[in-house]
Structure 1
Amino acid sequence: MDVGIDTELTVLAAGLIFLLALGLGVWKYRQMVTAENHLTHPYVDIAHRSALLYSFATLLTAVFVELSAWPTAVNLVAAGVLVAFFVIAIGSYIAHGALRDTTNQFERPDRTTTVAMTALIVGEMGGFSVLLAGFVWGSFLGG
């Protein structure tokens, strides 16, 4: 395979997140089968769907990693930050689904919620912006 280690690791992350999504689908199915109303806890459903979407978002990220003109280390950090926030988000949904502690994590926001969401926004948008800029630089401006 003639791709960089940064791309390979990002594709691996996509595959692992997709595998997690499939496992969460089993959890969702079990809740649907065993619940009296045949519904899952909202956060079990959110965890399953978000993992599916994040797996494909991570695969898209791998394309931008591969086409970025930036050094491998820059691409790895940018993709790593992005994927870390994807996984943290999925993990929080799993926790809420397992604990059944809320049906809306923003029902009682506090300072921690605000800091976490700000970090998520900066991390996800910042990480992807670095990769997008690397793609634009390499493909259209300087590469």
Structure 2
Amino acid sequence: MTLLAAGLIFLLALVLGVWKYRQMLASQDHRAHPYVDIAHRAALLYSFATLLVAVFVQFSAWPAWVNLTAAAFLVFFFVAAILSYIAHGLRRDTDNQFEKPDGALKLAMLALIVAEIGGFGVIFAGFVVGQLL
């Protein structure tokens, strides 16, 4: 499942690259909106991060349901971040979403931090137990 997610996120990155390219061609300064650029780059990076997670899942000592749950939290927040960048790129409403952060953004960032670090921590601990202990 994690490998499938990596492939889907990479495919999204490729599609976002077309959007970025189209904006670069159409704009006078030959640049895409900052959040279109961020969405494209984030999707590329998150696809490879998800691929790395898939490798650690493969070698984890934990039961499949533990690894799947932890990986699902990671992937959910990776995709949520990309989708938020896409939304800002479509709306062209900001070039810095943290310029005026509201409570919802702060809460979302806290949840992202806990889910990503916690999710990977669980998977990495399973890897350490399975491969080194």
TM-score for the superposition, normalised by structure 2: 0.99
Name the counterpart of 1:68.
60
In the alignment, which of 31, 55, 58 is matched to residue 50 of structure 2? 58
Name the counterpart of 1:32.
24
Structure 1 residue 18, shift from structure 2 partner: 0.2
Distance 1:104 1:18 in 2: 24
Distance 1:71 1:45 in 2: 38
Name the counterpart of 1:112.
104
Distance 1:24 1:82 in 2: 21
Distance 1:140 1:40 in 2: 46
Structure 1 residue 111, shift from structure 2 partner: 1.1
Name the counterpart of 1:44.
36
Once the two structures are superposed, what CA deviation does each residue of 1:39-74 show, in whole Å capped at 9, x if it has no partner? 110000000000000000000000010000000000
Is 1:95 matched with 2:87?
A: yes
Q: SS at 1:107's partner residue?
A: coil
Structure 1 residue 19, shift from structure 2 partner: 0.2
Is 1:128 matched with 2:120?
A: yes
Unaligned runs of 5+ in 2: none
Name the counterpart of 1:3.
none
Distance 1:18 1:139 in 2: 28
Name the counterpart of 2:3.
11
Which portions of structure 1, spanning 4 or more consecutive aligned residues, are displaced by more than 2 angstroms?
A: none
Structure 1 residue 140, shift from structure 2 partner: 1.5
Q: SS at 2:93's partner residue?
A: coil
C-alpha RMSD over aligned residues:
0.5
Unaligned runs of 5+ in 1: 1-8
Report the number of matched residues: 133
Distance 1:98 1:59 in 2: 28
